[in-house]
Amino acid sequence: MKRWQKALQDNYGTPTIELVSGKGSVVKDANGNTYLDFLAGIATNVLGHAHPAIVKSVTKQISTLGHVSNFYAHPNVLELAEKLQKLTGDKGARVFFCNSGAEANEAALKLSRKTGKYKVVATQEAFHGRTMGALSLTGQPSKRNPFKPLIKGIKHVPFGDSAVMKRVITKKTAMVIVEPIMGEAGVIVPPSDYLKNLRQYCDDNGALLVFDCVQTGMGRTGDWFGYEYSGIKPDVITLAKGLGGGLPLGAMIALGSASKLFVAGDHGSTFGGNPVATAAALSVISAIEKEKILSHVDEVGEYLLTELALIPGVTEVRGAGLLIGLTLNAPVAKALTKKCQDLGALINAPGDSTIRIAPALNVSMKQAQKFVVIFSQAMKEVSHV
């Protein structure tokens, strides 16, 4: 902790533990303690730690070709772009690679300017990143206020409210951006017809519909992107987190006519589509397919949704697949997170009475059962504080 405080800036505060190794869904700290990792690098390590396929592909790639910039092509970037194109079901889709979710959303924001319009509709409490453009889209005042003035022309409305969206989307709207399920806000699931309604409103007004799938994507919800249940397609998909399986990689995928908006020179990223990061991503997609992980996500997710709802002190459990949010009956989320850590499980408290869990997609049922025991015990102990 002293070394951290002396060498790193204070934007994160100071971590309480130092992790030194991991395998699958178990990590070890510098003192030799082990933990069930039910946060997975904030929904990022979709295959857990040290997955053999990722280790093999990254090792092979870094010993072959490390980095080429965006002046040249390489096999991995071509194959990954084609894979993502196929997953969207749109043969006309085109991919832009970057390094993070914030960068992917910055790219989407720039893309929307190519429509000739600049007004944007986003949602309150949404999280789209912390760079200035992405922060302008983020609907959390605590993160926005210290850095005003931000980009103008962005209106935030309540998430899940179709009626309000219908009123604010106009012919002047360049894009509407939403998360299929809000992650950072506490895993908030919208009404079943919400995304379908947004598609109609955007079509009626010539606006781009952008789905921020940074947290819901790459199998997290049991589907590849997290919006599939709606039966519609967006104009733009933004990805990161699980895409690289732990390596920094983001993508902005434009579908249909939106794929033709960027022309040469409009945007770029030195590291975007890096050979090593894209090698990891190809391994992630291959493993999800070969190991039938999407059906496993549904099974383990259903178990957790059911069992966590039975624990005293939990008033609501929501989510899809292995992106799960819980509401507690008291503002003890931070104390609960600390207690779970003491008992051997890592989780996240996005709010005073809200818990978020997002383990690796290949977490075992046995590990899920162990987590429920730990969480239940932690709730008991925190409730007596």
Instruction: Give start and end residues of each alpha helix (H) in the chain.
Output: 2-7, 40-43, 52-62, 75-88, 101-113, 132-137, 141-144, 162-168, 194-205, 275-290, 293-308, 333-343, 365-383
Report d(CA 106, CA 100) in Å as an integer. 10
Residue 127 marked ligand-binding = yes
Contact status, residue 279 vs residue 249, Cβ threshold 8 Å: no
For the record, the structure tokens of 259 come out as 């794929």
Report d(CA 134, CA 139) in Å as an integer. 10
Residue 101 marked ligand-binding = yes
Q: For 91-130, give the DSSP string.
A: TT-EEEEESSHHHHHHHHHHHHHTTT--EEEEETT----S
- Asked whether the CA dihedral 291, 293, 294, 295 is positive or negative, the reply is positive
Q: What are phi and psi of 122, to 5 degrees?
A: -130, -175
Residue 246 marked ligand-binding = no
Neighbours of 239 (CB within 10 A): 30
Residue 269 marked ligand-binding = yes
> Which residues are annotated binding-site positions?
101-102, 127, 130, 269-270
Binding residues for pyridoxal 5'-phosphate: 101-102, 127, 270
Binding annotation for N(2)-acetyl-L-ornithine: 130, 269
